[in-house]
Amino acid sequence: MPSAANNLSSSSGAAALLSTTTSSHVASLVDKVDLVVLQVGDVHSLLLLLKSPDVALCCTALDTITKYASDSKQHREYLQDNDLLITLVGILAKPPAPCDAAQLLTLKKHVAACLAATTNVEPMTPAMRHPSLVTALLNLAQSEDNVEVLDETWTALAHVAREYGTKNTIRQANGIKTLVTHMALPDPDVRRSATQALVVLADDFACRSDIRQLSGLPALLDGAASEYPEIQDLALTGLSKMAQDSACRVELRKLNGHKKLANLLVAATAAPTGTTPALATATPAGPLLAALASLLADVDMNAAMAGTPVAEAVSKLLGKEDAKTKRAAAHFLGTLGRVEANQASIRDTGGSTALLNGLSHPDPAVVAASASALHVILAQDSNEPEILKSNVYELLLQRMNDQDVREPVLLALSSCFLYGKLRARARINPLGLADLLRSTTASVTDPSTILVASAAATCLAHLSDDEGCRQELVRQDAVASLLQALQATTPPVAAIALALAKLMQEPAARAAFKTANGVDVTVKLLTQADTKHEWTANVCAMVASASRLGDSCRGLETVGGKVL
């Protein structure tokens, strides 16, 4: 640690002077001396002053240390390395004596503030994992009712609760019940810090279960409608995490959580008028969309959005200039579009058109989000007339070779190829078919591009429903190429096997399967197959297609028959 880090002059927020009055000397010399000044120039001396029996001196030292800790992560780590956290726990356990109630409360305020500032270090340090620290903070939260103490205490607990062990300790000590209670207190600072701590705890499944059982979900829904944007943001993040669990989604459905968030979303996107609630216009669109989308993983809540102004509100957000808002809105429409009942609303409010425009956006993240949403929406049969009238196929082809968006664009293309007329367009574009085949075979060699290979193979599988495309792919030696891809370390077996199964409707493909030693490749896969593997059924379909060729059938019957 550089010596400057130990020098208070290097900290812009830290004062270099500490002053205190002596008790007996000043009393006798009050007419001559008003104040005795103690000048401290380094942090180490301040840490020594924390052992003083004088409460006022201890509090002044704590205040200066807190300012020093707030300046930089380097300062906080230095203080932790010098056992500040253990010292603070010791002060809480055994305050200086004598110490009346008012002095004790003042001391707790300063200790809690210092703990909150000093523990703001990520990743967690060994000092923050000390068992006595979380115990002391929990005791403080459960025994104190002063809002300043509670605010800083929950902030410190949010910092130390990043680790699983600490989360478990808080849960077992009934800390979640106290936390949920404090989320309903009138003071906004306490509500904010308590919600912050809950959001951290919600990363753990067991904690999410306790939060649900201890009425944490109603508290989060109340926070989502708070007039304070910071509380809103935290509450919405907490709802997104809680909605990972089906039990929480069921509970949120009972609480009409989807309707409450939908109303907030509609109000937030409404044109400002004299009747628009101020809190609604302050609702952050990104976290709100993410939270509502998490709830809509529940099919019943998703279907309940049909006929509401939600699709229109999100379509408006897609027209915003802000790239983050566009991205969040596109992701949301992709979730909303999983239910057929919402398709008409998405079309009629211009959502589909806005997603098409997103494919031309300069931000790759917006393009990826738009393509992912289109992947879902294009797969719905009710959208076929709209799809065939649009230029979605051409727009996706233009972005197909952009490395940053390759996977979602290929997935959207795979949905396009569910329609015969779009497969016909691909049929007259042999170079495009070759590019898809190349994307499948080249991407399986790199673990980071396996999803690209899977998306490209899915395109080939859908294209193989067209006789002309099958024949062209066979001419391009697709069977041998795909069999080779299946021998990679971690290939997307399900997609490739489905493509091969459909290709082998062609006699020439079955002959190529035999020539390329497809029997050996398939037997190896079948020996690894398990009913739990999502690709087992597709490999079996490939076996069935290959078995139309007598020689292949004899090679597969021994091992393949066991699986089938």
Specify the pLDDT at position 6: 58
- At 274, list the tokens: 């004299």
- At 106, list the tokens: 């003042």
297-322 mean pLDDT = 93
> SS3 string of 477-529?
CHHHHHHHHCCCCCCCHHHHHHHHHHHCCCHHHHHHHHHCCHHHHHHHHHHHC
Report which secondary-structure segment, H or E, holds 219: helix 216-224
Say which residue the tokens 């000397």 belong to.
25
- Judge whether residue 531 has pLDDT over 80: no
Q: Tens of pLDDT along 250-282?
A: 999 999 999 999 999 999 887 554 443 444 334
Question: Among 517, 520, 516, 522, which residue's Cα sits nearest to residue 544?
Answer: 522
- Judge whether residue 404 has pLDDT over 50: yes
Q: Exposed (0-12), middle (13-18) or buried (19+): which is 219, by Cβ within 10 Å?
A: buried
Specify the pLDDT at position 247: 97
User: At 165, is the pLDDT very low, low, confident or very high (cuts 50, 70, 90)?
Assistant: very high
User: At 543, is the pLDDT very low, low, confident or very high (cuts 50, 70, 90)?
Assistant: confident
For the ranges 107-111, 476-480, 498-502, 549-553, the lowest mean pLDDT is seen at: 549-553
User: At 559, is the pLDDT very low, low, confident or very high (cuts 50, 70, 90)?
Assistant: very low
Specify the pLDDT at position 551: 47
d(CA 340, CA 21): 76
Q: Tens of pLDDT along 85-112?
A: 999 999 999 998 888 999 999 999 999 9
pTM, rounded to two decimals = 0.85
- How many C-beta atoms lie closer than 10 Å to residue 548's C-beta? 13
355-383 mean pLDDT = 95
- Judge whether residue 209 has pLDDT over 90: yes
Which string of DSSP letters, residue by residue, matches 295-319? HTTSHHHHHTTTTSTHHHHHHHHHT
- At 44, list the tokens: 């180490």
User: At 335, is the pLDDT very low, low, confident or very high (cuts 50, 70, 90)?
Assistant: very high
Vertex 105, ends 101 and 106: CA angle to 5°?
A: 120
Torsion (CA) 421, 349, 238, 155 in degrees, nearest 10:
120
63-88 mean pLDDT = 95
Calculate the CA 310 to chain-centre distance. 22
487-495 mean pLDDT = 89
d(CA 66, CA 498): 62
